[in-house]
Amino acid sequence: MGYRMISCDDHIDIGYLPADLWTSRMPAEFRDRAPHIEERNGESVWVCDGKVWGGWRGKKRDRPKAKGPIITALDRGGLTDESECRPAVAELRLADMDRDGVYAHVMYGPVFSIQTDDAALRDECYRVYNDWLQEFCAVAPDRLLGVPMLPEFPDSATKELLRLADKGWCRQANLQIANAKPRLHDAAWEPFWNALEATGIILSFHVAVFAPRAGDPAAGKPAGSFAATKAFIEQFLDPFVDLFAWGILERHPKVKIVLAESGTGWLPWVVQELDHRHERLWEAQEFWDQKGGVGLKMKPSELFQRQIYATFQEDPVALSLLDFFGDGHVLWASDYPHPDSTWPNSQAIVDKQMGHLTDAMRKKLTHDNAAKLYGLAS
């Protein structure tokens, strides 16, 4: 191959995190309320302020746990001892990356909100996780590329972004956009966009994990397996359109945004439709001039190709849209260790889905585009 593959969407899920991550690191005033492990109904779970955040896999079981409806990549790879917590143990994760023939992982943390109503406790939880992530990545900083988590509120997100910039170790930070409050059009977010430009840190939006909605007739049935198909678009559509409709990208040309694990096929029609609406605005310029003017100069498609990046896994549709995305803006991902992951068969899967591409294009998708975006050595 002659180059090293870079995966641009991988994970350190909450189930694999060290049990004492928060209890050992929180300031004294929060330590009694820090996220911690409890046993409930025979399962180990993370709990904070009485709210269950999710399961913890670090407890060794006497017998294998029966397989549920979701099969992870680790299951497929024959790694049945979840208590190893391989994704959050640097040496084990690196071994898994070597097995897959992937040199570097861009790693997202738990893809959910820190669930507490106390803003001070919430923000401290984010800081503690991000500082642990820095230490984790320091084991192999050219291979373990952590994406810190940002609170979903503008003042807190800006404060944490600037703190991360001062520490100087991260290239990208993630905002769980489905949970952002208020919506992105609100002026309260303007200091955040300014901070992104000033620091040069890339922003990512990643699909979030939600519990099934109460009363959902698909819950617990095969039909429920298709819920993610809706979530990939539902969670991104409003904020994605807002980036253009409210002039956010146009006002902040240095902002770069990665859409992670959101799918790609829906984007061309949406951007095409945004261009159409943009044209209609300027067609009615005389009307809008009486109301302060249109203000939106650039076509959404031009802004998209300048500032938006997207990841893909096994996605033939993505490979048919390379011209639409623009040069260098499509990033391959393995999604380790999630159920949708290509691990541990990434090499074979890439060979199969990219066999019709030139060697140069394949290299761009699996290495060059990521290396350029993140400033990585070849």
Tell me what the mean pLDDT of segment 80-102 comes to: 96
Longest CA span, the chain:
74
User: How many whole angstroms separate alpha carbon 338 and alpha carbon 13?
Assistant: 9
What is the phi-psi region of residue 139: left when phi exceeds 0, alpha when psi lies from -120 to 50, beta otherwise?
alpha
pLDDT at residue 229 tops 70: yes
Q: Which residues of 313-351 are buried (b: 16+ CB within 10 A; e: fewer)?
A: bebeebbebeebbbeebbbbbbbbbbeebbbbbbeeebe
Say what the pLDDT of residue 112 is: 77
Is residue 18 one of the residues assigned to a domain?
no
Residue 251's closest CA among 294, 193, 293? 193
- Looking at per-residue pLDDT, the higher value among 36 and 210 belongs to 36
Is residue 175 one of the residues assigned to a domain?
yes
CATH number at residue 227: 3.20.20.140
- In percent, the amount of the chain with pLDDT more than 90 equals 83
pLDDT at residue 109 tops 90: yes
- Per-residue pLDDT reduced to its tens digit, 165-192: 999 999 999 999 989 999 999 999 999 9
Tally the domains of the chain.
1
The angle, 0 to 180 degrees and rounded to 10, between the axes of the packed helices 190-199 and 154-167 is 10
- Give 180's contacts (C-beta < 8 A, 6+ positions apart): 152, 153, 239
Neighbours of 54 (CB within 10 A): 17
Is residue 50 one of the residues assigned to a domain?
no
Phi and psi at residue 45, in whole multiples of 5°?
-135, 155
Is residue 63 one of the residues assigned to a domain?
no
Is residue 121 one of the residues assigned to a domain?
yes
- Per-residue pLDDT reduced to its tens digit, 32-80: 999 999 999 999 999 999 999 999 999 986 555 556 777 889 999 999 8
Say what the pLDDT of residue 225 is: 80
Is residue 161 one of the residues assigned to a domain?
yes
Is residue 116 one of the residues assigned to a domain?
yes
Phi and psi at residue 310, in whole multiples of 5°?
-145, 145
Say what the pLDDT of residue 210 is: 62
- Per-residue pLDDT reduced to its tens digit, 281-293: 999 999 999 999 9
- Give 280's contacts (C-beta < 8 A, 6+ positions apart): none
- Cβ contact 155:188 at 8 Å: yes
Give the sheet arrangement for strand 308-312, strand by strand. Answer: 149-150, 172-175, 202-206, 257-260, 308-312, 330-332
User: How many whole angstroms separate alpha carbon 197 and alpha carbon 230?
Assistant: 32
Domain hosting residue 285, numbered range: 5-13+76-374
Phi and psi at residue 199, in whole multiples of 5°?
-90, -25
Is residue 231 one of the residues assigned to a domain?
yes
